[in-house]
Amino acid sequence: MSAVIEEHHHDDHHHGPDKGIMRWVLTTNHKDIGTLYLWFSFAMFLFGGVLALGIRAELFQPGMQIVHPEFFNQLTTMHGLIMVFGAVMPAFVGLANWLIPMMIGAPDMALPRMNNYSFWILPFAFGMLASTFFMDGGAPNFGWTFYAPLSTDYAPPSVTFFILAVHMMGISSIMGSINVIVTILNMRAPGMTLMQMPLFVWTWLITAYLLIAVMPVLAGVVTMMLMDIHFGTSFFNAAGGGDPVLFQHVFWFFGHPEVYIMILPAFGVVSAIIPTFARKRLFGYDSMVYASASIAFLSFIVWAHHMFTVGIPIAGELYFMYATMLIAVPTGVKVFNWVATMWQGSMTFETPMLFAIAFVILFTIGGFSGLMLAITPVDFQYHDTYFVVAHFHYVLVPGSVFSIMAAVYYWLPKWTGNMYDETLGKTHFWLSFIGVNVTFFPQHFIGLAGMPRRIPDYALQFADWNMVSSCGAFLFGFSQLLFLFIVIKCIRGGEKATDQVWEGAHGLEWTVPSPAPYHTFSTPPTDLKEAHG
Amino acid sequence: MSTQDAYEEYYVPHNSKLPIFASLGIFLTLYGMGNMFNEMTAGVDSSFGEIVFLLGGLVMGTTLFFWFAQVIKENHEKLYSDQMNRSFVWGMSWFIFSEVMFFAAFFGALFYIRVFVVDWIGGVGDRGPSDMLWPEYEPHWPMLNTPDPELFPGAKEVISPWGLPLVNTILLVTSSFTITVAHHGLNEGNRKKLITWLGATIALGIVFLFVQGYEYYHAYSDLGLTLASGIFGTTFFMLTGFHGAHVTLGTFMLIIMFFRALKGHFSKEDCFGFEASAWYWHFVDVVWLGLFVFVYVLGS
Amino acid sequence: MNRVKRMWQLGLSLLLFSNVALADWSALNLRQGVTEISREVYDLHMLIFYICCGIGVVVFGVMIISMLMHRKSIGAKPADFHENTNLEIAWTVIPIVILLGMAVPATSTLRDMYEKGDADVDIEVRGYQWKWQYTYLDDDPAKEIQFMSALLTPQEEIYNEAAKGEHYLLDVDNPLVIPINKRIRFLVTAEDVIHAFWVPDFAVKKDAIPGFVHETWAVVEEPGVYRGQCAELCGKDHGFMPIVVHAVEQDEYDAWVAEKQAEAAAVFETVGKTWTQDELMSKGEEVYSRNCVACHQVNGQGIPPAFPSLVGQGVTVGDIQENIDVLLYGRAGTAMQAFGQQLNAAEIASVVTYVRNNWGNDTGDTVQPKDIHTQMASQ
Ligand code: HEA
Ligand code: HEA
Ligand code: CUA
Ligand SMILES: [Cu+2]
């Protein structure tokens, strides 16, 4: 490395992108970095999805057919980890990178070099995580919630690399979130108040705050594991005065806010799309903001609803039940606001809108099952069954993942300058919609009927619906290749998009040309009338 | 509210080689560390882990050096607007918040163990039936008699707060004052005052670390208080250990600031690096006060 | 494929809302179970479910009406309202009221579940990787009944080499036996990792956590066989760790207790005699296939590095005392359990003999039950 480590030009802003691979490795541009995040996330989605298809293939019929129980546990664990940390979270960070500066009229993210760092840690982290499949003893096999002592004293040696990979993801997330918060707080176009920001920006502000608050706690808990494994500490060992349940408390203090980290930006996306295609302003902007903030606040004080069966004293059980139920109120406000936005609008149903509407309905179904899980005495029956699996896939797949797809369709013309193929888009939507429901709806039934989760083989009475679920999974999975095709096709050409793209779209990002120039808002916009979506 | 004319250009570097090296550095460091730990635990005699670890540390260290050099250089070239400096301020504040949450996890573990687990294993409360597994165990904090003394032998004694820990408290609190005096010196443009008091702060930090090191030595060799001596030792060393690591980092930051001050950097308007280190130092100080109360005073 | 055809029928009939689908509904829902608590839980479940359906109908109904009527293609013009404080207050307050309506019965059910009371029978339930140990606690240790309960389904059924039996994966060698209409207290704990003791028909699910004991209870009202499963991921064979409970009339229970106690005495007898190598080997094979194959595999090769091979290396061909100790006391902090707490002296002696003289391990050693017994007694 020479002392002059980077070429540095005073007229930076007039540069377009570099050519070749180095553009992507060295870039500090928020749009490039957003693109990197999105592609990385899609790759991880396919990877995690292939693992899920492995699970579903094994569960197609009772009996062990394809994998061994030991490997099945690795599939489940890595599927959960990759989807959560590799697919959904980076996708939202990618959207944040692309959109936040454009929505608030900023020239870029606040700390561009650190932005690049946040991204490039990820391929290393996931490379390390994926490499555990090839290690002696195999990949992590203790569930994505890695409860001690299965993940400490009884874990394969690869757990050490899992822990360190989690550290790297944590560092990446924390730096990414610092960047988002600082950008939002410090880089808004002059004159834009907080209460004028588009909701996507608001929800990301809150999400970033959640991330900075809980990722260090995750780092803390994996550090405790590392010490228990290698240095003889006894955090999670009763013989030394510790408690395995301590692990769960610390983990879920991170883990519950984590699930809202995966849904709040989705709320933001949907709050942008529905008004556009209803051609009507978002109903109840203020209450949307307060509801998001309340959800975030509540998310810190409900963690033990994942632990109703671990033997918490009754006062604790009751408290966590009540607190959890409360989350239905602000979430309900959001749902009602979306419905009220659609009411008496002038709606059209392009692909992003279809995904957004499906989001509202299917997320709400997932929310209802969440509420059922929150009722402590009944959770004793639901806990660790496929009912829980059905719940969280409803909020995560037709929830978070659908919102990401909606966002991609919605902003793709702005990113590429071309319209995507609407017919194919709609086909993709309907295949996904059907696939998702066929996959996950029956899981409610098998869960209620008593099938535990994380098992490679099951009793005969669960056979029928498992078969349906597996068929749905393959339908849904392979439909995503169509999505890939549509995106690539759109990048390579298509009908030219206008600046505004959608008739009803409002917001600063729609005031710049399509495709958005490499640098937007090098000088801030003065006309903020458009800012408020 | 600023207007269009008041707007200053926000510097966006065109591209940078630094982050990719930093990513590589962190990867090698951790990958090496993982191998090192696994080799240690499995009793394998190999230096693969260590080599990768050191290599990673080298890459990371070098990259950070150039990174800071780059930022300082850009700052001197007046590329940074006030808005940019505000970004740094916010960035540092949120970073410190993340550190607070990291410590919160360990403090939380300590409280949970102390308030609940000690009693449960001893037969009190909702999980009280657990004492049928540990008939010999008496609930008590500090936990010298672990439930299974064969696996976790427990310490003979714990460290009294009123000896060296008190000295350390005084050292750190004093250092918070000295750094504030240094800051005043900076604001007054009094470079000599800045350098003197900054030097004093660094000295206090280093003395603190030595005292802490001695205390650890004493705990290990005389008191049987170790990481592996049960939950008391576990929480004690993890909390104070991470704090010590942060003091070390803070001291490094101050040393860098010291040399920058010697070179004539910093003015009242342009002293973000110094301020950031000072906040960090205060944060480390506050954490220590928490440790002193909850680990030492209430722990013995 | 028969099942595929059945699926189509089921799917189609669901679509047509025919009675066939509705008739099958109970198999798709929570079980009502056989205790007062489990029925309370079921009612609560149905209550919340119907409330959610109701809310769903309203919310989705409004959405669908809006999607049908307020579409641009039929010329709808957008209105321009975008807030309404009264409405917003209403849809904050109404959900709160609904939630209160759920919280009240939920609280009372939970209190019933947590009610402490004197138990008629105390059973310690201990999770092992991957089987259960049941101990009927008694003030007189000589009267305590203790046994292991593990999966009975043969490997051939699991690996599709034989037709699957009726209770595929839900059958055990030694079921738990309890009397009906008595308050049974379960003291749930674990030896190695976290398991969970779950019997759906009792609405009992309690995590079994190593180092801690949690209590829960059930009063079963109908005699019958109730099946459950371990409900917390506990490693490789988590899916193969069923629970079977026989609830029987009191007199039947008494007879069973007497029989178990007699069995224990008989085992004590056999320990006293001197066994031949053949006896030890055949008994050993049986013990091995029931207790050890999960980890060390039928061929003794294990699944390294997690589960070591026992063939031609290590203690099985080395120091015999160490071999016995591994069996009796396990290896702390690994999956290798202390079998001294699960197997009797004859079983330990024979399995040690077996592993030392099988798969070409030809140490020629035999171990006598009485020696093991002395060693266990001296602990
Ligand atoms: C995006 C992710 C996401 C989201 C948004 C949610 C949302 C919710 N979740 Fe979920 N949850 C997960 C992801 C998520 N969850 C995951 C991943 C797990 C499993 C982890 C694991 O173990 O692996 C889990 C598990 C889980 C459990 C533990 C189950 C168990 O293991 O036994 C519980 C229990 O309380 C729960 C509850 C809830 C509740 C009450 C909500 C609420 O936020 C839902 C609120 C929404 C609504 C209620 C619908 C809309 C509201 C209205 C229309 C208003 C009117 C409604 C009423 C008055 C009822 N969740
Ligand atoms: C955001 C998170 C997310 C997402 C998107 C998904 C998506 C899916 N999940 Fe899962 N899931 C989790 C989060 C998620 N999941 C978590 C947290 C757990 C708990 C883990 C644990 O218990 O520890 C879990 C567990 C889980 C289970 C329970 C496993 C068990 O308990 O043993 C199952 C079973 O059906 C399942 C299925 C699926 C399916 C079918 C999809 C589908 O949506 C997947 C769609 C498929 C694809 C997208 C594949 C597309 C690829 C191809 C067609 C091949 C192309 C090939 C090349 C290009 C080379 N998931
Ligand atoms: Cu035992 Cu799962
Ligand atoms: Cu939760």
Tokens of residue A349, six digits:
């149903």
Closest CA to C221 of C192, C241, C201: C201
Question: How far is the C-alpha of C196 from the C-alpha of C207, rounded, in Å?
Answer: 4
Shortest alpha-carbon distance between residue B131 and chain C (Å): 8
Has residue A529 been placed in a domain?
no
Q: What is the ipTM score, two decimals?
A: 0.90
Identify the band that residue A329 occupies on the pLDDT scale cut at 50, 70 and 90: very high
Lowest mean pLDDT of A38-42, A99-103, B33-37, C304-308, name the range.
C304-308
CB A250, CB B105: distance < 8 Å: yes
Residue nearest to atom 21 of ligand 1 (CA): A145
Q: Which long-range contacts (CB under 8 A, 24 or more apart) does C321-329 make?
A: C323/C352, C323/C355, C323/C356, C324/C348, C324/C352, C324/C367, C324/C372, C324/C375, C327/C351, C327/C352, C328/C372, C328/C375, C328/C376, C328/C379
What is the average pLDDT value for chain A, to the nearest integer? 93
Chains B, C: CB contacts within 8 A come to: 23
Q: Do B73 and B122 sit in the same domain of this protein?
A: no
Tens digits of residue pLDDT in C20-70: 444 456 678 899 999 999 999 999 999 999 999 999 999 999 999 999 999
What range does the domain containing A15 cover?
Answer: 2-511
Q: Which amino acid does the sequence have at B246?
A: H
What range does the domain containing B279 cover?
Answer: 82-297
Shortest alpha-carbon distance between residue A232 and chain B (Å): 5
Ligand 4 is an ion; residues with CB less than 5 A from it: A 256
Annotated catalytic residue A453? yes
CA of C212: which chain B residue's CA is closest? B130
CB atoms within 10 A of CB A1: 12
Average pLDDT over residues C151-161: 91
Average pLDDT over residues A352-364: 97
User: What does the H/E/C string look like for B111-174?
Assistant: HHHHHHHHHHHCCCCCCHHHHHCCCCCCCCCCCCCCCCCCCCCCCCCCCCCCCHHHHHHHHHHH
Which helix (H) or strand (E) element contains residue A37? helix A30-58
Give the ligand with the smallest distance to the CA of A327.
Answer: 1
Question: How far is the C-alpha of B67 from the C-alpha of B61, rounded, in Å?
Answer: 10
Burial of A380 (0-12, 13-18, 19+ CB in 10 A): buried
* pLDDT for res C18: 41
Three-state DSSP at C29 gives coil
Give distance in angstroms: CA of A54 to centre of ligand 2.
Answer: 9
Has residue A290 been placed in a domain?
yes
Nearest atom of ligand 3 to the alpha carbon of C232: 2
Lowest mean pLDDT of A379-383, A490-494, C252-256, C260-264, name the range.
C260-264
Residue A14 has pLDDT above 70, yes or no: no
What is the average pLDDT value for chain C, to the nearest integer? 87
Which range, A240-249, A503-512, C267-276, has the best average confidence (pLDDT)? A240-249
Give distance in angstroms: CA of A359 to centre of ligand 1.
Answer: 15
Residue A2 has pLDDT above 50, yes or no: no
* pLDDT for res C24: 54
* pLDDT for res C149: 93
* Interface touch A213/B228, C-beta < 8 Å: no
Mind giving me the DSSP string for C114-138?
H-----SEEEEEEEETTEEEEEE--
Question: How far is the C-alpha of C267 from the C-alpha of A391, rounded, in Å?
Answer: 50
Has residue A521 been placed in a domain?
no
Within an 8 Å CB–CB cutoff, is residue A130 touching chain B?
Answer: no
> pLDDT: is A34 or C10 the higher one?
A34
Identify the band that residue C2 occupies on the pLDDT scale cut at 50, 70 and 90: low
Residue C19 has pLDDT above 80, yes or no: no
Give distance in angstroms: CA of A258 to centre of ligand 3.
Answer: 26
Which helix (H) or strand (E) element contains residue C88? helix C85-114
For residue C214, the chain B residues in CB contact (below 8 A) are 127, 129
* Radius of gyration, CA atoms only, chain B: 24
Nearest atom of ligand 2 to the alpha carbon of A478: 53
* pLDDT for res B2: 38
How many domains does one find in chain A?
1
Give the ligand with the smallest distance to the CA of A150.
Answer: 3
A529 secondary structure, DSSP code: T
CATH number for the domain harbouring residue B139: 1.20.120.80
Has residue A142 been placed in a domain?
yes
Q: Do B74 and B94 sit in the same domain of this protein?
A: no
Tens digits of residue pLDDT in C294-347: 889 988 898 888 888 998 888 888 888 888 989 988 887 788 888 888 888 888
Question: How far is the C-alpha of A222 from the C-alpha of A164, rounded, in Å?
Answer: 8
Its sign, for the CA torsion C110, C112, C113, C115, is positive
Question: How far is the C-alpha of A433 from the C-alpha of A406, rounded, in Å?
Answer: 12
* Interface touch C212/B120, C-beta < 8 Å: yes
Q: Do B49 and B137 sit in the same domain of this protein?
A: no
For residue C187, the chain B residues in CB contact (below 8 A) are 129, 132
How many domains does one find in chain B?
2
Closest CA to A123 of A39, A54, A46: A39
Strand order in the sheet with C224-229: C176-179, C242-248, C224-229
* pLDDT for res C1: 43
* pLDDT for res B79: 82
Average pLDDT over residues C85-105: 94
Identify the band that residue C17 occupies on the pLDDT scale cut at 50, 70 and 90: very low
Distances (CA, A) of A83 to A389, A401, C285: 14, 10, 44
Tokens of residue A307, six digits:
């632990």
Three-state DSSP at B268 gives coil
Average pLDDT over residues B132-141: 88
Among the options A30, A31, A56, A79, which is catalytic? A79
What distance lies between CA A305 and its chain's CA centroid?
Answer: 21
Most informative mutation of A83, A401, A466 for ligand 2 (most atoms within 8 A of CB): A83
* pLDDT for res B83: 85
Of B38, B54, B79, the residue that ends a domain is: B79
Tokens of residue A396, six digits:
């995560």
Tokens of residue C49, six digits:
């479910």
Q: Do B52 and B125 sit in the same domain of this protein?
A: no
Q: Do B40 and B91 sit in the same domain of this protein?
A: no
Q: Which amino acid does the sequence have at A301?
A: I
* pLDDT for res A285: 94
Q: Is the CB of C195 under 6 A from ligand 3?
A: yes
* pLDDT for res A1: 33
Q: Which amino acid does the sequence have at A220?
A: G
Tens digits of residue pLDDT in A364-417: 999 999 999 999 999 999 999 999 999 999 999 999 999 999 999 999 999 999
Residue B222 has pLDDT above 60, yes or no: yes
Average pLDDT over residues A39-62: 97
CB contacts under 8 A, A 468-507 vs B, are: none
Q: Do B70 and B97 sit in the same domain of this protein?
A: no
CATH number for the domain harbouring residue A379: 1.20.210.10
Within an 8 Å CB–CB cutoff, is residue B112 touching chain A?
Answer: yes
Average pLDDT over residues B236-262: 95
Tens digits of residue pLDDT in C260-273: 888 877 777 777 77
CB contacts under 8 A, A 229-248 vs B, are: 229-235, 237-243, 246
Shortest alpha-carbon distance between residue B196 and chain A (Å): 31
CB C284, CB C359: distance < 8 Å: no
Three-state DSSP at B91 gives helix
Its sign, for the CA torsion C194, A255, A161, B100, is negative
Closest CA to A221 of A240, A234, A235: A235
Among the options A76, A77, A299, A331, which is catalytic? A331
* pLDDT for res A135: 92
What is the average pLDDT value for chain B, to the nearest integer? 91
Average pLDDT over residues A228-232: 94
Q: Do B179 and B210 sit in the same domain of this protein?
A: yes
Nearest atom of ligand 3 to the alpha carbon of C208: 1
Tens digits of residue pLDDT in A69-95: 999 999 999 999 999 999 999 999 999
pTM, full prediction:
0.91
Q: Do B68 and B139 sit in the same domain of this protein?
A: no
Q: Is the CB of A373 under 6 A from ligand 1?
A: yes
CB B174, CB B204: distance < 8 Å: yes
Lowest mean pLDDT of A35-44, A208-217, A416-425, C160-169, name the range.
C160-169
Among the options A453, A498, A499, A530, which is catalytic? A453
Question: How far is the C-alpha of A284 from the C-alpha of B179, rounded, in Å?
Answer: 49
Q: Do B156 and B65 sit in the same domain of this protein?
A: no
Q: Do B147 and B290 sit in the same domain of this protein?
A: yes
Question: How far is the C-alpha of C267 from the C-alpha of C269, rounded, in Å?
Answer: 5
* pLDDT for res C16: 45
CB A61, CB A463: distance < 8 Å: yes
Residue B257 has pLDDT above 70, yes or no: yes
Residue B3 has pLDDT above 50, yes or no: no
Give distance in angstroms: CA of A80 to centre of ligand 2.
Answer: 7
Tokens of residue A467, six digits:
């078969």
Q: Is the CB of C347 under 6 A from ligand 3?
A: no
Has residue A227 been placed in a domain?
yes
Average pLDDT over residues A479-487: 97
* pLDDT for res A212: 97
Q: Do B132 and B62 sit in the same domain of this protein?
A: no
